[in-house]
Amino acid sequence: MYFIGIDSSTTATKALIMDESGTVLGVASSEYSFATPQPLWSEQSPLLWWHGTIESIRQALAKTNIDPAAVKGIGLAGQMHGLVLLDEKGEVLRPALLWNDQRTAAQCDTIRQKIGRERLIQITGNDALTGFTAPKILWVQENEPEIWQRTRHILLPKDYVRYKMTGEFAVDCADGAGTILFDLKQRNWSPEILRALNIPAETLPKVYEGTDITGTLSPAAAKELGLPAGIPVFGGGGDQAAAAVGTGAVRAGIVSLSLGTSGVIFATTDGCAIEPEGRLHAFCHSVPGKWHFMGVMLSAAGSLRWHRDTFAPGMSYDTLLAPAAEIQAGSDGLLFLPYLSGERTPHPDPLARGAFVGLTVRHTFPHLTRAVLEGVSFGLRDSFELMKNSGLKDISQVRVTGGGARSPLWRQILADMFNAEIVTVNSEEGAAYGAALLAATGAEIFPSVESACDSTIQITGSTKPGKDQAAYENLYPLYRDLYPALKPSFAKIGSS
């Protein structure tokens, strides 16, 4: 008995095949690009995700040589917040507006005006940000009225793949919450928000939990994918919620930290919790009946890559980081702000800029390297502190994944910075693996998502706070002072 997990990201679609014990048998990926037809715009043809799904599933089947008839479920994950518009025949009306599209600042202001910022956060758990789906819908209403008049169905990226598989219009709670059209507590579309934004409820898909069956593979789709018709397709989740399942971050107290180009801190909550100022994202989890907080840093390991590529191109990361381990905590008074791409949490500021502060003639290249690691870690702690102040008092463990997690030095800095145990796990396939686990749970291979994670995900390494914890505790307030002090300068630089 086998299960397939799909992750349709911005740059590739991954297909993963696992057996009923949770062992990954094979993974395949198909890459594609996205378009930036104007400054701030980011668009993609939804057919790329479908063609990527076909290619990746066929490649994974060929790699594993399993019997396709033994596949008993498919789980879906994918990039969040994108806008897919279909007409009455289910045909795509325009390229999808992606999560990283930044054209909708004016529409975000409109949403706050129509609903009220406090009321919006109260209902949806979030402020209006350009990345979310709702302002994209308003942009189409205002700028492409002929497209909007023909729109009969609104989908998120992975749910277009679901539609191509099953013919059904469906969304899971986690991805639906990321539209900011959700009543977060009710885990469904908010009539108040829809009325205020003039979005007909009938254009939105039916809502399911991540382990629910949303449809079955149609004969036409099955033929294209190389699978039998009738395989159940389960709810799945937005990529971050599915990735949290894939690393076992499904209980309160266990936090997931993805240390890739961007950095994401993800914390499960047993109830619907909201950060009052909307500085943290609050969404539904893919785990039925659970929610989560999420903080996003735009340049996490991306800051280290910039540092290496700019000052030591071609140097291996091991060579880069070795001398930084000899530098004392605090880099002899050197601080780094990691806002190389602007910032999202806790400062939703596209004009924020990176900075080294405190440079002297005593500082060497290894000092700069360590300062970058520490600056990113301080920035991630901002989200960590917001979560603790919003009710997550007992954070027992942080599960770290992504390229940055390979560095023992960085793991130790994070353990000291957070004053928490940092662990690595055996799961490396993130959202695709989480989607497969959700499907297996929906097929009753496991009694719950929590038990699925307990059965399949093991800790492979542990780093506990050490001697530098007190030093970082003293330095953190200095880091926190820098952004407010420099924000006016950032604004002037960005507008010049």
Question: For residue range 27-43, what is the model confidence (pLDDT) as tens digits?
Answer: 999 999 999 999 889 99
> Do the beta carbons of residue 436 and residue 3 sit within 8 Å?
yes
CA–CA separation, 82 and 89 (whole Å): 20
CA–CA separation, 64 and 26 (whole Å): 6
351-to-410, 493, 494 alpha-carbon distances in Å: 27, 8, 6
Nearest to 117 by CA among 27, 71, 180, 189: 180
Is pLDDT above 90 for 66? Answer: yes
Residue 224 β-bridge partners: none
Six token digits for residue 224: 């294209």
Confidence of residue 242 (pLDDT cuts 50, 70, 90): very high
Residues 64-95, buried b or exposed e (16+ Cβ, 10 A)?
bebeeeebbbbbbbbbbbbbbbbeeeeeebbb
Residues 172-200, mean pLDDT to the nearest whole number = 98
CA 171 to chain CA centroid, nearest Å: 16
392-to-23, 234, 266, 386, 388 alpha-carbon distances in Å: 32, 30, 12, 9, 4
Confidence of residue 26 (pLDDT cuts 50, 70, 90): very high
CA–CA separation, 190 and 55 (whole Å): 37
**Catalytic residue selected from 239, 382, 416, 468:** 239
Is pLDDT above 80 for 393? Answer: no
**Cis check: omega of the bond before 46, within 30 degrees of 0:** no
- Span 258-270, pLDDT tens digits: 898 889 999 999 9
pLDDT at 24: 96
Rg (CA), the chain: 22
Q: Give the global pTM.
A: 0.92
Is pLDDT above 90 for 223? Answer: yes
> Do the beta carbons of residue 98 and residue 42 sit within 8 Å?
yes
- What backbone torsions phi and psi does residue 428 show, to the nearest 5 degrees? -120, 0
Length in residues, the chain: 496
Which strands sit side by side in the sheet containing 254-259, from one edge to the other?
281-284, 291-297, 263-269, 254-259, 397-401, 421-425, 459-463
Is pLDDT above 80 for 192? Answer: yes
Domains along the chain? 2-242 (3.30.420.40), 249-426+466-496 (3.30.420.40)
In eight-state DSSP terms, residue 61 is H
Q: Which residue has the higher pLDDT, 393 or 336?
A: 336
CA–CA separation, 147 and 136 (whole Å): 13
Six token digits for residue 122: 């109260």
Q: Which residue has the tokens 């900011």?
A: 180
Active site residue 175: no
Q: Which residue has the tokens 């994202």?
A: 281
Q: Is the dihedral of CA 152, 156, 161, 166 positive or negative?
A: negative
Residues 206-228, mean pLDDT to the nearest whole number = 98
Six token digits for residue 272: 């619907």
How deeply is 200 buried, as exposed, middle or buried, from its count of CB atoms within 10 A (0-12, 13-18, 19+)?
A: exposed
How deeply is 174 buried, as exposed, middle or buried, from its count of CB atoms within 10 A (0-12, 13-18, 19+)?
A: buried
Six token digits for residue 362: 């005593």
- Span 108-148, pLDDT tens digits: 999 999 999 999 999 999 999 988 999 999 999 999 999 99
DSSP one-letter string for 309-331: HHHSTT--HHHHHTGGGGSPTTG
> Do the beta carbons of residue 396 and residue 421 sit within 8 Å?
yes
